[in-house]
Amino acid sequence: MRFKQFAALPYRLREDDIEILLITTRKKGRWSVPKGWLIKNGTPQGTAAVEAFEEAGVRGAVAEKHIGQFRKRRLRKQQSVLCDVRIFPMKVQRQQSIWPEMEQRSRIWVSQRKAARLVKKSGLRRAIREFAADA
């Protein structure tokens, strides 16, 4: 059985360039994007927006269509499960200086090229590259 999670790809435009906001994972400290389980009675886009605020301290407009996906192992109810994580672009409109998981994660704005180099998951890397080319 496959489970689904939903991720935000927070971005902003700077001098005609796209910058991507990456955050560190809690356990291994790897660079990634905000993601989580579907919020009860919520939408995938709404879940991505909530996770972006809780994990990265940003708010903005989440696109209707996802731009890619990657697979990840997660613990769910004490069991390891394989998740398909769908990625939704989110144009950042506000960045908070205080947010729920600020003590557990770091965040960094980087160029699209650097973001693609920093993330580990190939599906996420591909989504970052393809999104920037289409944006």
Query: pLDDT band at 47, cuts 50/70/90?
Result: very high
* Extents of the domains making up the chain: 3-134
Distance CA 74, CA 120 (A): 15
Distance CA 82, CA 75 (A): 9
Tokens representing 131 are 């999104």
Amino acid at 16: D
- Per residue in 67-122, pLDDT (tens digit) is 999 998 877 778 888 899 999 999 999 999 999 999 999 999 999 999 999 999 99
Whether residue 134 is predicted with pLDDT greater than 60 in this model: the reply is no
Tokens representing 120 are 């580990």
CATH assignment of 3-134, among 3.90.79.10, 3.40.190.10, 3.40.50.1820, 1.10.287.130: 3.90.79.10
Amino acid at 59: R
How far does CA 85 lie from the centroid of its chain? 9
pLDDT at 16: 82
